[in-house]
Structure formats: C-alpha cells, structure tokens
Structure 1
Amino acid sequence: MADYIHEVRQLVGHRPLILNTAAGEVLNDQQQLLLQERTDTGDWSFPGGYMEFGESFEDTCRREYLEDAGLQVEPVRLLKLFDKDFYTYPNGDQTQLITALYLVKVIGGHELDHVTNETQQVKYFDLDNLPKLFNDQSVKMAQAVIDDVEANR
C-alpha cells in the first residue's frame, strides 16, 4: 500500500498522528556520518522516513535509504528507538515520531548525485562538525551515533 501517510492525511488533515519511521547510520572510513539535505526545509537529517503499511522497521530503513540516499543498505543492529519526539511540519502536519535508528552497512547502489523530491544532496560530515539538523529527534539521533562510536573505540 504505497503512500499510506498521504492517504491517512487526506482523511485527518493536520491533526496529530503517531507515526513510525526508520533511519540508518552510515559512517565512512574517516568516521564521518552520511546525511541527507532535505528539500522541504533545507535542513539535514538521517536518510529514512515513514513506514508504509505492512512494512517492518528494517524494511522501511532499506527502502527509505535507497530513496533518500541512493544506497542499498542492510540493517546490522538497532542503535536506539526514539519514541517521544514531536514535530510540526511546515505545512502544519503534527506528529509524534517513533523512530528506529539502525547501524547499517552499504551493500550496493551509488550515493545520489541529483536532486529528488525529498533530497537536495547527500554528504558526509565530521561528527564534531554537523550541519543544522532537521529537528530535535535528529539531534538526539546524532548524539546516539556519537555515543556509539565513542563506546566502540
């Protein structure tokens, strides 16, 4: 059932919704984090997005990473589940985002080299010099990555 969120939004408008999302963390050999520059706000976020009806968190992570970053990934392990973050989109949609953040490994594809409807560009950043992130949850996710990297040195 493609585009599940848009169908639900047509029924409920901008009212608050609890939505499930999944995202992935990819680090290059220099321990830099791959982020996506969003077309809707111009901020940066982890490649990822909303779960479609019938998907698992891991399925969502795979699909969204390919759509947002051009890369085929395989989830390796769940880094953290974020379940109490709220965001109102520029169009007025209110959400409580429940996001599964995975450490993923790249198994194919190529980093996007063109603009899509959701991605301006993808780029690697040093963990101590991240750009303006999309929302509070993205900031928490970045901190979870930093904590994980430090714990596994």
Structure 2
Amino acid sequence: MYFNVRVYGLLVNDNDEILLTDEQEQGYRFTKFPGGGLEYGEGLTDALKREFIEECATEVEIIEHFYTTDFFVKSAFNDSQIISVYYKVRAAGTVNFTCKTKAFDFDGTSGSLQAFRWRSLAELHPKDVTFPIDQHVVELLKNKK
C-alpha cells in the first residue's frame, strides 16, 4: 500500500457555477473536480496549476486552501490510499476550454476521454460527483453557503 496525493481546483465562474470534469479512463466513467496527481518534486499549488494548464489550457491563481482529506479512502484504480487537497482557484485570464451541457458528452469514443461542464452551486449535490472525497467536498461547499 502506498499514498497517492491528488490536488483539485474548485473553480467558480461569475454565474456561481462550479467546474466539473467528466472522464472515462480504463473503461470507467466518473465525474470529479479538475486536477490530478502530484508528480515527484512538485509542490501542491504547482501541481494544480500544471493540471489546469494540461487539462483546461487555462492558467489559474490559487485563492485559498479549502480542504484536505481527513478520512481513509482507497483508490478506485489501484491499491493506494488517496489523500486529496482542494483549493479554491480563479482563472488567471481567459478560460480556454469548451464546456458541454450534459454529462459524459465526449468528443471521442475510445481511450482516455474528458469533457468539462459547469454546475450551479445552488443545485450541486454529492451525487453529482463520483468519488467519496469529492462528495464530502460538495457537502462542505453546501454548508459554507
């Protein structure tokens, strides 16, 4: 067993909508917040900025730390223990990614697929995201409103 450190950005637009990413990997479909794994030698905020550039072609500024996992979660993909760190972020300039309006509206049909969409914070529910830590973060977001 080993630790898998993940970092995610909570990006809210001017319409009070949060960015979600629908993905398909290894035949498994899931919805989560944008972000991903920490690479060796990276700090958390550098990793998050890299992930947004890689996934969204968008630079982000870190606003503040929001949450770090405080309960055990085993990865859905391997035998690692997941530790996720969430930051509130804002776009540092132009938002450079296409957003869809329905879940899993991928442009391709095979391999690793990804599509972004906005979800109203007022209508956001834990069931809108796949993984337990993200579901907990949704609850925290709702309680802070």
Percent identity over the alignment?
20
**What's the CA shift for 1:123?**
0.3
- In structure 2, runs of 5+ residues without a counterpart are 100-106
Q: Does 1:121 align with 2:115?
A: yes
Question: Residues 43-93 of structure 1: CA distance to partner in whole angstroms, max 9, x if unpaired?
Answer: 210111110011111111111122233321111100111142313435xx1
Do the aligned partners of 1:36 and 1:119 also contact (CA within 8 Å) in 2?
no
Q: Does 1:33 align with 2:27?
A: no
Where does 1:1-153 land on structure 2 (aligned, <5 Å)? 16-40=1-25, 41-90=28-77, 93-108=78-93, 109-112=95-98, 118-127=112-121, 128-130=123-125, 132-148=128-144, 150=145
Pick closer, same or farther for the CA change 1:141–1:119 going to 2, 3 Å: farther
Q: TM-score under structure 1 normalisation?
A: 0.74
Partner amino acid for 1:44?
A: T
SS at match of 1:64: helix
In 1, the alpha carbon distance for the partners of 2:73 and 2:112 equals 20
- Alignment match, 1:5: none
- The structure richer in helix per residue is 1
Pick closer, same or farther for the CA change 1:76–1:34 going to 2, 3 Å: same
Pick closer, same or farther for the CA change 1:75–1:83 going to 2, 3 Å: same
In 2, the alpha carbon distance for the partners of 1:54 and 1:117 equals 28
Do the aligned partners of 1:36 and 1:122 also contact (CA within 8 Å) in 2?
yes
Question: Residues 85-133 of structure 1: CA distance to partner in whole angstroms, max 9, x if unpaired?
Answer: 313435xx12211111000010135014666965420000122245641
- In structure 1, runs of 5+ residues without a counterpart are 1-15
Q: How many residues end up aligned between the 2 structures?
A: 132
